[in-house]
Structure 1
Amino acid sequence: MTDALFARVRAALSGLISVAVGLAAGQLVAALRDPATSPVLAVGSAVIDRTPTPLKDWAISHFGTHDKLILLSTVVVGVFILAIVSGLIARRNVIIGAVIQVAMLAVAGYAVLDRPFARWVDLVPTVVAGIVSLLVLFVLLWLDHQPDLRRLVDRKPLQGNAIGASRRYFVVASGAGAATAVVSFVGAKQLTNSRSSVNVHIPQASERAPSLPRGLDASVPGVTPLRTPNTKFYRVDTELTVPTLDASRWSLQIDGDVENPYEISYAELLRRPLVERNITITCVSNEVGGSYAGGATWRGVLTRDLLKEARVKNPDRPDLQVMSTSFNGFTISTPLGALTDGRGAMLAVAMNGEPLPRSHGFPARLVTPGLYGMLGCTKWVTRLTVTTYADKKAYWTERGWTTDGEIKPTARIDVPKSFASVKSGRVMVGGTAWAQRRGVVRVQVSIDDGHWQDATMGPDVNIDYWRQWYFAWNTSKKGTHSVRARVVYGHDQLQTEKRAGVFPNGSSGIEERSFVVH
């Protein structure tokens, strides 16, 4: 490697390491108070808000719950490319190189302040990141070139390090900087994780949910468990990091077109009568055969009781909605009727017998049977506003999604997996089906496009909970085979075969899988 090329490599490293150390410092400071104020996360959130809906759907369908990691990685790669450019330019003109880094952090600062309810104090992590990155940049340039930085300002080319510090000092300093960045990022991660546990006592429900019976998953390997553990429950939202709200400072405000607007604290909420319900919820981004559905036992306060106390004005108006607002200003639109009828919609504070996990909405979230999560399952909710669809539009409504998203009945095949290899003889086909608000009657299976045959059904919990099913196929035919499954629901209604994507009101169609018998 020539001296000129090696000098450019050192300059690039100066820019990269300085920005990395700065961002790590900002991340660490943000973790002490609010991880969402981290410069990287703030920019990532801004990117999410401005990403076209089709691109979001593509990311979710291709990367699943890893879509946020992919997004953050893309943002970080872009930042580091600019950091390298700043180092290369700073090798000849430190002012321009520094301006590039300041401009990058100015964008991050704008993203921080652009969040709903942002305050000037939220800029502290970004300011710290900027100060640290510039200091590290100047130090590395000084070590690599010469102590007289005036020549950098004068735009005079730097000639190696003949009059500066030795290369060894630069290598040691850059290595120390890289190590500092790694340690700071890890420390910030650990600090954030340490705040993720929830230590609150949730009173028992005055109205308990029936205990779930033994499911088919105990006898049919591969079938989804009847109850989804909290740690396995799907999570799809716009947050890049799990919010760490303080229950003692949390409150729910109920306002809008009501006669009695009021506010309730977390402690007051827990003193109200709590009910339990076994409910399966589904994400509108769930493709046919997808995994974005889960069944759990939820405990909370009925929303109809909360809204009854607020006394909604003209409650029979068909255009009324409840705009639920998350802690960060994110909004979801729910038809008023879905929160006030007898379906048991609730403001949930517990999940599967445990306090609501932070990743699923602690201190409180909405759970609305029969509606996709984008319309009735707001996490980290802090406000319920009764209004009309004409007066206010929620986050997803502004992006073209439906305002009346009833979950579409579907049967999902859990086993065998696509293109799995199974032994001839007794081949077990099984899965789960749901038809919230209508109830699963039975599931039918078709092998190799043959006639539809009834599957053996698992326990029937209630009309808002999914059902397991299985079909035993005895065959000696080796080779590739296909299986389809459909749900019969309500009053012997058949699941539609019409294929539709997730936008704007959820996917539909019959799932089909191929597998090999050997």
Structure 2
Amino acid sequence: MKARLLWAWYGVLATLLGIGLAHLAAGLVDPASSPVLAVGSGVIDRTPTPMKEWAIRQFGSADKTILVGSVMAGVLLLAALAGVLARRRLAAGMGLLAVLVLVAGGAVLDRPSAEVVDLVPTLVALVVGPLALRLLATTDRKTHEGDGSRRTLLITIAAVSATAAVGGVAGRLIAAVKRRPEDITLPKPADPAPPFPRGLDDQVPGITPFRTSNGKFYRVDTRLDVPVVDSEDWTLTIDGDVDREVTLTFDDLLGMDLIERDITLTCVSNSVGGPYVGAARWLGVPLADVLAKAGIDGTKADQILSTDFDGMTISTPLDLATDGRDAMLAIGMNGKALPREHGFPVRMVIPGLYGFISATKWVTRLTLTTYDDQQAYWTERDWATDAPIKISARIDTPKALAQVDAGDVVVGGVAWAQERDGVAKVQVRIDGGAWTDAQPGPDGGNDYWRQWFYRWDGASSGSHRIAVRAVAGNGDAQTAVRAEPFPDGASGLHEFARHREVARKSPRNRPIRSTQHSE
């Protein structure tokens, strides 16, 4: 039994060495060409939509980590089997490792933007993995046959382990030396946003901050690793049904007139009351100005097919992208260059539309075309093509299942109603009673969310049900009809029961202000 475990470990070590050096090669070629990431991306592409939605609900932003971990676990299990096979028949073990690598190579080539050079990491793994298994097997046999020392075997195992670790770390470091967001000096906007109001953050304990920091902003996309795109090499091509094809560099965008806007983004996978919504100050070039360089006045296109650095595509209805809203190609977020996680060097930001039809990160191409001629990633999976963000309100405090004291309680949260003249009113309902107006917080603009609070006087201990709804400035009210995120966003009221809980006293000596103050 011990011998089998040792040989299984040889298979795992050989595979880890192949993966580590392949990751190093990917850092030199293209981080996305890493065989493990390519296999993971292939799994994502072939996962049915209901299962994806389930994974997001269950694991949140950790879904990618769990997926990569699952892929690695499966690979290493098969690698252990290869090691056990090699004990009896070395060629069989080496062959199984080679098959694993070839499957990964197929996943690399299946990427939309794959080039022949992207196979280099796979070839490295194809050579290194089986040869490492052969080295370990040969050294082990010599040791047991008396032709080699146990010390030599241990040194060989240690050397393989160390090289695997160094290769993986070096691959990440090499990718990281490319031009970083912190190296970018952002120009001043030609059209700046107004002074930002002071929110209720320090007045309503537990409420969502009025501005979402870059580090806390949600991330939902199909990328398993954070892409490393060099802004010096980055270009944007505008083609398709345009007067002339245009290619812009990052410096070209920096030289154009920039706008600064406060905009709330929402993921279509967000459930009612869910966390996948954030609000930030964005800096970018108006999308209309970029499209004008290519000329679209006579276009017959009805969509903008945007493509990211690795071939991922998103469809945006052309009429919504050019109807006067502050659609932009963003280069800055909250006063800094875009973080890599959020699309550095350039991403799309279009207020009022769910991200899956508007918020392409790491964008490199805008193609004017029709839905009949070309379909994007989510369109092929039967998601909606026209998906305006639905009016919604969320309760942040008190939390469900929280244990608090009886008395006065402050209920608070955020609400959003982009492209509908903003949030005009938020209402709260206690225990199925009448809807009562809450106090809205400061106004950050029509495309920005709004904090709100409600003072619930004399709440008794026991079980209570709290619900909230928002009304937009144009008169549209949040619907109570429940719908799942697929295919065009969740709807319904955020409502929960409080069992065996009681309400919290609000601090009487600290009144809640609702006036606006600039930072």
- What is the TM-score when the length of structure 1 is the normalising length? 0.92
Once residues 502 and 156 of structure 2 are traced to their aligned partners in structure 1, the CA distance between those partners, rounded to angstroms, is 61
**Aligned-residue CA RMSD (Å):** 1.8
Indicate the SS of the match to 2:88.
Answer: coil
Deviation at 1:192, TM superposition (A): 4.3
Amino acid at match of 2:58: H
Once residues 152 and 502 of structure 2 are traced to their aligned partners in structure 1, the CA distance between those partners, rounded to angstroms, is 64
Q: Unpaired runs of 5+ in structure 1? A: 148-160
Matched with 2:473 is 490
Once residues 474 and 254 of structure 2 are traced to their aligned partners in structure 1, the CA distance between those partners, rounded to angstroms, is 39
Once residues 284 and 91 of structure 2 are traced to their aligned partners in structure 1, the CA distance between those partners, rounded to angstroms, is 58
Q: Which deviates more, 301-310 or 337-346?
A: 301-310
Once residues 52 and 9 of structure 2 are traced to their aligned partners in structure 1, the CA distance between those partners, rounded to angstroms, is 34
Q: Evaluate the alpha carbon distance shift between residue 205 and residue 69 of structure 1 in structure 2; reply closer, same or farther with a 3 A threshold.
A: same
2:338 is aligned with 1:356: yes
Amino acid at match of 1:463: N
Verify the 8 A CA contact 1:144 1:166 in the aligned structure 2: no
Deviation at 1:251, TM superposition (A): 1.3
Deviation at 1:252, TM superposition (A): 1.2
Matched with 2:55 is 59
Matched with 1:416 is 398
Matched with 2:83 is 87
Amino acid at match of 1:109: G
2:71 is aligned with 1:75: yes
> 1:176-209: per-residue Cα shift (whole Å, max 9, x none)?
4334433443444455455583111221111000
Once residues 416 and 88 of structure 1 are traced to their aligned partners in structure 2, the CA distance between those partners, rounded to angstroms, is 55
Q: Evaluate the alpha carbon distance shift between residue 415 and residue 331 of structure 1 in structure 2; reply closer, same or farther with a 3 A threshold.
A: same
Once residues 470 and 23 of structure 1 are traced to their aligned partners in structure 2, the CA distance between those partners, rounded to angstroms, is 52
Once residues 194 and 231 of structure 1 are traced to their aligned partners in structure 2, the CA distance between those partners, rounded to angstroms, is 21
Q: Which deviates more, 56-65 or 401-410?
A: 56-65
Q: Evaluate the alpha carbon distance shift between residue 442 and residue 260 of structure 1 in structure 2; reply closer, same or farther with a 3 A threshold.
A: same
Q: Which deviates more, 414-423 or 471-480?
A: 471-480
Amino acid at match of 2:325: R
Indicate the SS of the match to 1:383.
Answer: strand
Once residues 340 and 431 of structure 1 are traced to their aligned partners in structure 2, the CA distance between those partners, rounded to angstroms, is 32
- Corresponding residue pairs, total: 499
Matched with 1:309 is 293
Matched with 1:473 is 456
2:223 to 239, 253, 258: 239
Matched with 2:18 is 22
> 1:60-117: per-residue Cα shift (whole Å, max 9, x none)?
1111111100100110011001101111111111111111101111111111122122
Matched with 1:7 is 3
Q: Percent identity?
A: 50
Deviation at 1:327, TM superposition (A): 1.1
In the TM superposition, 1:296-335 aligns within 5 A as 296-312=280-296, 314-315=298-299, 320-335=302-317
Indicate the SS of the match to 1:494.
Answer: coil
Once residues 488 and 253 of structure 2 are traced to their aligned partners in structure 1, the CA distance between those partners, rounded to angstroms, is 33
Indicate the SS of the match to 1:396.
Answer: helix
Q: Which deviates more, 507-516 or 289-298?
A: 507-516
Deviation at 1:244, TM superposition (A): 1.5
Q: Evaluate the alpha carbon distance shift between residue 324 and residue 75 of structure 1 in structure 2; reply closer, same or farther with a 3 A threshold.
A: same
Q: Which deviates more, 113-122 or 354-363?
A: 113-122
Indicate the SS of the match to 1:400.
Answer: coil
Q: Evaluate the alpha carbon distance shift between residue 192 and residue 517 of structure 1 in structure 2; reply closer, same or farther with a 3 A threshold.
A: farther
Deviation at 1:476, TM superposition (A): 4.8
2:95 is aligned with 1:119: no
Matched with 2:274 is 290
Once residues 298 and 172 of structure 2 are traced to their aligned partners in structure 1, the CA distance between those partners, rounded to angstroms, is 49
Matched with 2:432 is 449
Q: Which deviates more, 108-117 or 329-338?
A: 108-117
Q: Evaluate the alpha carbon distance shift between residue 479 and residue 166 of structure 1 in structure 2; reply closer, same or farther with a 3 A threshold.
A: farther
Matched with 2:211 is 227
Once residues 106 and 328 of structure 1 are traced to their aligned partners in structure 2, the CA distance between those partners, rounded to angstroms, is 21
Verify the 8 A CA contact 1:281 1:373 in the aligned structure 2: yes
Verify the 8 A CA contact 2:95 2:130 in the aligned structure 1: no
Q: Which deviates more, 182-191 or 467-476?
A: 182-191
Deviation at 1:169, TM superposition (A): 4.4
Once residues 81 and 56 of structure 1 are traced to their aligned partners in structure 2, the CA distance between those partners, rounded to angstroms, is 24
Indicate the SS of the match to 2:201.
Answer: helix
Q: Which deviates more, 77-86 or 336-345?
A: 336-345
In the TM superposition, 1:377-388 aligns within 5 A as 377-388=359-370
Matched with 2:98 is 102
Amino acid at match of 2:55: A
2:132 is aligned with 1:132: no
Amino acid at match of 2:379: T
Q: Which deviates more, 207-216 or 126-135?
A: 126-135
Deviation at 1:482, TM superposition (A): 2.1
Amino acid at match of 1:510: L
Matched with 1:259 is 243
Deviation at 1:475, TM superposition (A): 2.8
Matched with 1:155 is none
Deviation at 1:171, TM superposition (A): 4.4
Matched with 2:502 is 517
Q: Evaluate the alpha carbon distance shift between residue 387 and residue 193 of structure 1 in structure 2; reply closer, same or farther with a 3 A threshold.
A: same
Verify the 8 A CA contact 1:142 1:164 in the aligned structure 2: no
Verify the 8 A CA contact 1:322 1:387 in the aligned structure 2: yes
Verify the 8 A CA contact 2:179 2:230 in the aligned structure 1: no
Verify the 8 A CA contact 1:143 1:164 in the aligned structure 2: no
Deviation at 1:145, TM superposition (A): 1.8
> 1:201-250: per-residue Cα shift (whole Å, max 9, x none)?
22111100012100011211211111111111111111111111121221
Q: Which deviates more, 463-472 or 243-252?
A: 243-252
Verify the 8 A CA contact 1:10 1:144 in the aligned structure 2: no
Matched with 1:152 is none
Indicate the SS of the match to 1:248.
Answer: coil
In the TM superposition, 1:204-223 aligns within 5 A as 204-223=188-207
- What is the TM-score when the length of structure 2 is the normalising length? 0.92
Matched with 1:174 is 157
Indicate the SS of the match to 1:8.
Answer: helix
